[in-house]
Amino acid sequence: MSENRLEIRNLHARIEGVDAILKGVDLVVPRGEVHALMGPNGSGKSTLAKIMAGDPSYEVTDGDILIDGESVLEMEPDERARAGLYLAFQYPVEVPGVSIANFLRLALNARREEGDEIGVMEFYTKLQRAVKALDWDESIIERNLHEGFSGGEKKRSEILQLLVLEPRYAILDETDSGLDVDALKVVAQGVNAARGPGFGALVITHYQRLLNYIIPDKVHVMSNGRVIESGPKELAMELDVKGYDWIRAKAGETAANGASATA
């Protein structure tokens, strides 16, 4: 069954002038679950996030990405968003002249049918509920999107957008980078508020500390452009203690054994 899940099948991808970056990624995130994707620098985690969102810099050479059984490879980024995918950027950009409130109302209406635009009262009720979930002052919604924001404020704003837009699936690309403990807790609070049977998320992170606050249903480990291990939440704790070398060695031994068996 491919419904109600975000699925990556044997995904290979490259960027011009660079050898393959993704080398056969397989990953499934069902709705109702939050999965963590961990791995060392250069393993392909952020590349995977960008390709899923439709970054045109990358070329997919094999495999597929499916949302609820439908391939999104031929979709533009805005079409993927309308299909229910949301990406929280590692480095959110500033948008001068556009307030958070106006941006979010436009984004919500872009996903609805013409003539079915969200009403002003309904929108502000939704927005105020999301602001409250993040322990933020309501005045934030009148500020321009990310303009003059600290790193922590930008990440909190990304989670605010997540709560308002209510996507089916979210990819959180190193949302914890540069955050102090207090900001980390607030961001985690927002992600946990979004959890439910209709929502799935892939949380990309280097560190176990975020997963102390966002408890994953499953943990995946990526190295050298592929997922080399998946396991329960305890896997993240093991990585925090041991690092990645042991699991790379394990993957190498498995590959070698598999090759021998095939031969």
Q: Is the pLDDT of residue 118 over 80?
A: yes
Q: What pLDDT was estimated at residue 255? A: 43
Residues 222/37, Cβ–Cβ less than 8 Å: yes
- Tens-digit pLDDT profile for residues 47-86: 999 999 999 999 999 999 999 999 999 999 999 999 999 9
Ordered DSSP codes for 135-175: T--GGGGGSEETTT--HHHHHHHHHHHHHHH--SEEEEEST
Q: What is the mean pLDDT of the chain?
A: 88
- Tens-digit pLDDT profile for residues 10-58: 999 998 877 789 999 999 999 999 999 999 888 999 999 999 999 999 9
Q: Is residue 242 part of a domain?
A: yes
CA geometry: angle at 65 spanning 205 and 88, to 5°? Answer: 35
Q: Is residue 197 part of a domain?
A: yes
Question: Domain range for residue 22?
Answer: 5-90+169-262
Q: Is residue 142 part of a domain?
A: no
Closest to 201 measured CA to CA, from 211, 209, 149, 226: 211
Q: Is residue 249 part of a domain?
A: yes
Q: What pLDDT was estimated at residue 1? A: 52
User: And the tokens for 100?
Assistant: 């958070």
Burial class (CB in 10 A: 0-12, 13-18, 19+), 19: exposed
| Residue 92's pLDDT band (cuts 50, 70, 90) | confident
Q: Is residue 215 part of a domain?
A: yes
Residues 173/121, Cβ–Cβ less than 8 Å: no
| Neighbour-count burial for 150-173, b at 16+ CB within 10 Å, e otherwise | eebbbbbbbbbbbbbbbbbbbbbb
Residue 66 is part of a domain; what is its CATH number? Answer: 3.40.50.300
Residues 90/174, Cβ–Cβ less than 8 Å: yes
> Which residues, other chains included, contact 163 with Cβ-Cβ below 8 Å and sequence gap of 6+?
129, 130, 133, 134, 190, 193, 194
pTM (predicted TM-score): 0.89
User: And the tokens for 72?
Assistant: 């999104």
Q: Is the pLDDT of residue 167 over 80?
A: yes
Q: Is the pLDDT of residue 259 over 80?
A: no
H or E stretch covering 98: strand 95-99
Q: Is residue 223 part of a domain?
A: yes
Q: Is residue 125 part of a domain?
A: no
Domain count, the chain: 1
Which residues make beta-bridge pairs with 79? none
- Tens-digit pLDDT profile for residues 142-160: 999 998 888 888 888 999 9
Q: What pLDDT was estimated at residue 258? A: 40
For residues 88-107, average pLDDT = 88
Q: Is residue 145 part of a domain?
A: no
